[in-house]
Amino acid sequence: MSEESNPSNPWSVLSTEAGNGTLELRPGALEGLINAANGVRVRVASVKKELSKIDSLPPFAALLLSAEALASRFSEKGRELGSILDDHITVLDDLTDTLFAAARHYRGTEEDSRVDFATLERRVSEHKGITENLADRPGPAGLTTAGDGSGNTYAHPDWNEVGNRRPEENHGLPTSLAEPGEVKFEPRGVRADDPENFVYSQYQTIITSITGGSPSMPIKVAQAASDWRWLAGELKETFDILSNQMTTSRSSWTSPNNNGGADRARRAITAYGTGTDQLNTNMKLIGDSLEYVSEWLYTTGVRLQQGDDYPPTRNSGETDDAYRQRKEEAAVRNYVRAMQEVYVPGVEATDQVIAVLPDPIPPTTAQVPGPGGPGPGTAAGPGPGPGTSAAQLAAMQSAQQQSEQQRKALEAAQRQAQLDAQRRAAEQQQQQQQQAAQQAAQQAAQQLAQQAQQAAQQLAQQAQQLGQQVAGAAQQAAQQAAQQAALAGLPGMPNMSDAAKKLESALAKGGGGPGGSAGGLGAAKSNAGQNLDKASKLFPRAQTNAVTAATGARAGLAAGQGMAGSPMGGMPMGGPGAAQGGQQKEHKRADYLDSTEHLEEALGDAPVVAKPVVEQ
């Protein structure tokens, strides 16, 4: 740390004075101071190795931006402590340089000047970069196995329903934070999330992030609280040794020219001790704040878990989906109530009690005299009087405080801007996810509707085809029934066997005797022909046999009978039959004419008769 970057560092100024010979230290006090400073150097380096336990805390809960932001503030405090410890190393370097320079310029007795500077300087060099083992790390802070209504029997933080505490209990804050005295806290930077912005599934993620894991998040926070107190105690041990050693050496500082250098050294010693004490106190207060977080975070997790313990009664006939939705809605109401009574006030209260870690450079300075002192024979110029030095000190303290406040205000504004940006990004991402889910649901619904429409069209087509097939079958059955009815209702239509017999009888009568008239034969032929025509329409195979039979009959008629209507129609034409008219015998009917052997072949197969489908 240079004088230009830290003008309030008194030891860099005092080192210059000692180098000019205007500040002296009795050599007998040098070794004790060097050894104490080396001890602090080693302890500070050892503590820095353990800062990873406190400078990178995970978010206290998932999905809650305020839980992440609050954890980030505490992690930032751990990183800030690392910078402060680096500054302490720089202060120790300036202090060591001041001690050696002031002891070398000491102009006292010979006994006081017998010091092995080379050995002490080598010892300082050897202690740079050395670390040591710290005391055993304690376990999580503030755990208890006392019953708290949650049923947990393992060690857990104290139950702390922050929002339900009485006003005089200050939201359940410990006394060290509720009544901090002159301790300064960081400006606010975190705002609690609105519990109503989360749905059932998101609350399940939040509950798991708080209560799940081994150890759970409240136990991890309690361990961080213990780590802050542990490291504070380790630093205090060596800081106290150095402060006591510096206090013992107050009388060993002198200013040969009475320029106030010794007084400034004594004030720097006092300020250094005060600064290390304040650092220790505020580190422990940060541990108290983290233990407070572990309490209300543990209580929040238990209360959220109990949100599902009292589901509503299922209604008669209620579907599984409807009942599940009612259960989730009832659970969310319980979740919101738990968050409002514990988590939200816990975040708000904690954010206001994060202690400021003091800088190692105390607000004291010293004027650096010019090279060389007043020459002999000249009066020394008047040094700054007590009133002037006090005024300058107050002015510089005020300026430093204003600068520090401005810096912290700027850092707070930057943190808030970063949190706002993260919150907006998370909200935008959530909206995009919801829109994507809605689009996917719409597409799925459209696909289902299209599939349903296609299925309906296919069913309609199949139904139409089936209807057409049924109608065709019914029409065919109706036609067959109509044909049968028409056949049965023909007037004077005999059966085919009777018609054939009558035809044979008529033909026999026409060819047997001379008395057969042409008119009778023509009438018989006409009636038989009409019946055959009707039958041929219904029985096509019978038509061929009937025509064949009729043809044969006509051929026989031509051989022995004249044409109908001729004057001699009843007489045979000239020939042997006419000449032998007196000798003619009675005609005998052929036996095959009375045979029914080929009747079925002539008639053909009977038509298939089936009842219409409608009648069945």
Q: Quickly state the pLDDT bin for 608 (edges 50, 70, 90).
A: low
Does some domain include residue 432? no
Does some domain include residue 486? no
| Average pLDDT estimate for 448-475 | 75
Distance CA 92, CA 276 (A): 13
Torsion of CA 487, 493, 495, 501, to 10 degrees: -150
Q: Which of 9-13, 40-44, 449-453 has the highest mean pLDDT?
A: 40-44
Q: Report pLDDT for 189.
A: 94
Distance CA 295, CA 506 (A): 131
**Is the model's pLDDT at 429 over the cut of 50?**
yes
Q: Report pLDDT for 64.
A: 98
Does some domain include residue 610? no
Lowest mean per-residue pLDDT among 60-74, 169-183, 314-328, 409-423: 409-423
**Is the model's pLDDT at 377 over the cut of 50?**
no
Last residue of a domain, one of 558, 588, 607: 558
Return the DSSP state at 160: -
Model confidence pLDDT, tens digit, residues 307-363:
998 899 999 999 999 999 999 999 999 999 999 999 999 999 999 999 999 988 644
User: Do 185 and 42 sit in the same domain of this protein?
Assistant: yes
Q: Quickly state the pLDDT bin for 124 (edges 50, 70, 90).
A: very high
Residues 6+ apart with CB under 8 A from 11: 91, 94, 95, 97, 98, 268
**Is the model's pLDDT at 25 over the cut of 90?**
yes
Q: Report pLDDT for 352.
A: 97
Number of domains in the chain: 2
Beta pairing partners, 253: 25
Distance CA 178, CA 378 (A): 60
Does some domain include residue 424? no
Last residue of a domain, one of 369, 387, 403: 369
pTM: 0.60
Return the DSSP state at 381: P
Q: Quickly state the pLDDT bin for 146 (edges 50, 70, 90).
A: confident
Model confidence pLDDT, tens digit, residues 567-600:
444 444 444 444 444 444 455 666 666 666 666 6
Does some domain include residue 446? no
Does some domain include residue 298? yes
Q: Report pLDDT for 616.
A: 47
Model confidence pLDDT, tens digit, residues 107-121:
776 555 578 999 999
Beta pairing partners, 254: 24
Distance CA 384, CA 387 (A): 8
Q: Report pLDDT for 251.
A: 93
Does some domain include residue 97? yes
Q: Report pLDDT for 233.
A: 98
Last residue of a domain, one of 516, 542, 558: 558
Q: Quickly state the pLDDT bin for 407 (edges 50, 70, 90).
A: low
| Average pLDDT estimate for 165-185 | 93
Q: Report pLDDT for 602.
A: 62
Return the DSSP state at 201: H
Q: Report pLDDT for 565.
A: 41
User: Sign of the CA dihedral 193, 196, 197, 201?
Assistant: positive
Distance CA 532, CA 546 (A): 7
| For helices 30-48 and 65-104, angle between their N-to-C axes, nearest 10 degrees | 160
User: Do 58 and 197 sit in the same domain of this protein?
Assistant: yes
User: Do 57 and 194 sit in the same domain of this protein?
Assistant: yes
Whether 32 and 175 have beta carbons less than 8 Å apart is answered as no
24-25/253-254 β-pairing: antiparallel
| Average pLDDT estimate for 61-86 | 98
Q: Which domain holds residue 125?
A: 10-313+325-369
Q: At 262, list the tokens.
A: 């010794």
**Is the model's pLDDT at 49 over the cut of 90?**
yes
Does some domain include residue 22? yes
Q: At 557, list the tokens.
A: 């008629």
Whether 353 and 180 have beta carbons less than 8 Å apart is answered as yes
Q: Give the chain's end-to-end CA distance (angstroms, integer).
A: 114
Which long-range contacts (C-beta less than 8 Å, at least 24 apart) are formed by 571-577? 571/514
User: Sign of the CA dihedral 433, 436, 441, 442?
Assistant: positive
